Amino acid sequence: MQDAKQETTLNRSLGFWSALSLVVGTVIGSGIFFKQSSVLDSAGSTGMALLAWLLGGLITLTAGLTIAEVGAQMPHTGGLYVYMEEIYGKLWGFLSGWMQVVVYGPAIIASIAAYLGILLVGFFNLNGSWQAPLAIIVIVLIGILNMFENRWGAAFQIVTTLGKLLPIAAIIIFGLFFGNQDAFGQSLHTVTQSTGSFGVAVLATLFAYDGWILVANLGGEIKNPQKILPQAIILGISLVLIAYTLVSYGILHFIPADTIHKLGQQTTVYFANAAFGTIGGRLLNIGIIVSMVGCLNGKIMTFPRIVYAMAERNQLPFSKQLSYLNKKSHEPIVATLVILAYASVMILFFNPDRLSDLCIFTVYCFYVATFIGVFRLRKRKRGIERPFSTPGFPVTPLIAILGALFVIVSEIGSDLPGVLLSLVIVAIGIPVYYWKQRQNA
């Protein structure tokens, strides 16, 4: 039985463009289209809003440069889970995987799908009762696609990533050449209440930049991962940083700051209607829908790999079933089905947005631990040549650590009950880990 299992392995068939599209596609969802007003309100002026987008991107880039060094040394399926296990031991690796498998991954998928359901209902003028069914139908269809060979999911990711870049390019070009507002020097005059600070604005952009690390979950399926994984992470984050900053500049150059404040989440829709007419608004909505579908595909493609990697190590209940790979497609179809079922339940019975928010604190705790792990790995493997070295070491990882600590402190200050609940979720994994250890022994 063990020999039969070893015959079927994940396909190491994903190239540079697939990896790059996964980085870009899993980051760019709906945040860049809907967060313009909230970032501006918190920053207080257009110049500070642009600086927030730029600073959030630079912090994310330092994180990517740091993880690239770790990932190049551990090009295995599982990403963050594998890094934590290698650097800190099996318990900490398990807990990072447990948190992502039990709540964070399914909740992120459910949250994006729920928003997509709202957009689809509005786009097709359907009854509101269709929101949840449409959300579930979309993730099931994407899940089915990802049960075929990984090249199909990767190809779909490339297509949707190119599709989402079209509305982004349109906003940038029109805003740059046809706007007449001062994109750097406007201050808000109509704000009736305090909505935050520059730090809150940067925090919002950091959440909009999140998701790039998920490509590391496919480390065991990328060709020459020691080379391609760092390249995809660094170039992908850089492209997103440029796109986010230019989109923000284009909108701020076209629409007065006070109008953006009043429009709120409708800012980008207003931009499209004003720039391209009603048809332009519809086309932008299609672009946003494509963007969110691509983002969902990236999540559905990557999160089941954590389940598979943990089950391969026999760390989860029903590990034998969860580690099953289809002999024809070489895909972890049982792990994918479990994630989809879990996400569907969240859409129907919970607030997935709140559930995903609960895990932000612990996710960034594991980020910090992995960033610190770069120093530990260099000490542990002193004298051994690295496939990739973080430029600007040790300053670059220190900036990444400070950026992640900023998110952690902000979460404690803004949502202490949620932080405590997220720690409880992680703590529940401790007895599960030791139960499986005794069972394995």
pLDDT tens track for 131-181: 999 999 999 999 999 999 888 999 999 999 998 888 899 889 988 888 777
- For the residues 302-321, what does the mean pLDDT come to? 93
Q: Which residues contact 195 (CB under 8 A, 6 or more apart)?
A: 38, 41, 42
Question: Which phi and psi angles does 145 have, rounded to 5°?
Answer: -60, -40
Least confident of 2-6, 37-41, 235-239: 2-6
- For the residues 20-28, what does the mean pLDDT come to? 93
Residue 346: pLDDT above 50? yes
- Identity of the residue numbered 93: G
Most confident of 183-197, 260-274, 422-436: 422-436
* Burial state string for 247-260 with b = 16 or more CB within 10 A and e = fewer than 16: bbbbbbbbbbbeeb
Q: Total domain count for the chain? A: 1
Angstrom CA distances, 44 to 192, 198, 264, stand at 12, 8, 14
Question: Which phi and psi angles does 187 have, rounded to 5°?
Answer: -115, 155
Query: What pLDDT does 249 receive?
Result: 93
As a whole number, the mean pLDDT across the chain is 89
Residue 195: pLDDT above 70? no
Q: Furthest-apart CA pair in the chain: how many Å?
A: 70
- Identity of the residue numbered 43: A
Residue 4: pLDDT above 70? no
Interhelix angle 267-312/131-145, rounded to 10 degrees, is 50
Least confident of 35-39, 111-115, 229-233, 267-271: 267-271
User: Residues 37-73: pLDDT tens digits?
Assistant: 889 888 888 899 999 999 999 999 999 999 999 999 9
Closest CA to 244 of 206, 289, 284, 187: 206
d(CA 284, CA 93): 41
Domain of residue 383: give its range.
2-440
Give the confidence band of 340 by pLDDT, cuts at 50, 70, 90: very high
Q: Which two tokens stand for residue 433?
A: 């880990």
Query: What pLDDT does 189 receive?
Result: 60
Q: Which residues contact 6 (CB under 8 A, 6 or more apart)?
A: none
- Positive or negative, the CA dihedral 314, 315, 318, 322 is negative
Give the confidence band of 2 by pLDDT, cuts at 50, 70, 90: very low
- Identity of the residue numbered 344: S
CB 253 within 8 A of CB 175: yes
d(CA 82, CA 94): 9
Note the pTM of the prediction, 2 decimals: 0.90
Query: What pLDDT does 391 receive?
Result: 95
Angstrom CA distances, 222 to 58, 100, 182, stand at 26, 21, 45
CATH number reported for the structural domain that contains residue 264 in this entry: 1.20.1740.10
Query: What pLDDT does 288 receive?
Result: 85
Angstrom CA distances, 400 to 55, 56, 63, 221, 403, stand at 12, 11, 5, 27, 5
Query: What pLDDT does 7 receive?
Result: 62
**Residue 90: Cβ within 10 Å count:** 14
Percentage of residues of the chain with pLDDT beyond 70: 96
- Span between the terminal Cα atoms of the chain, in Å: 20
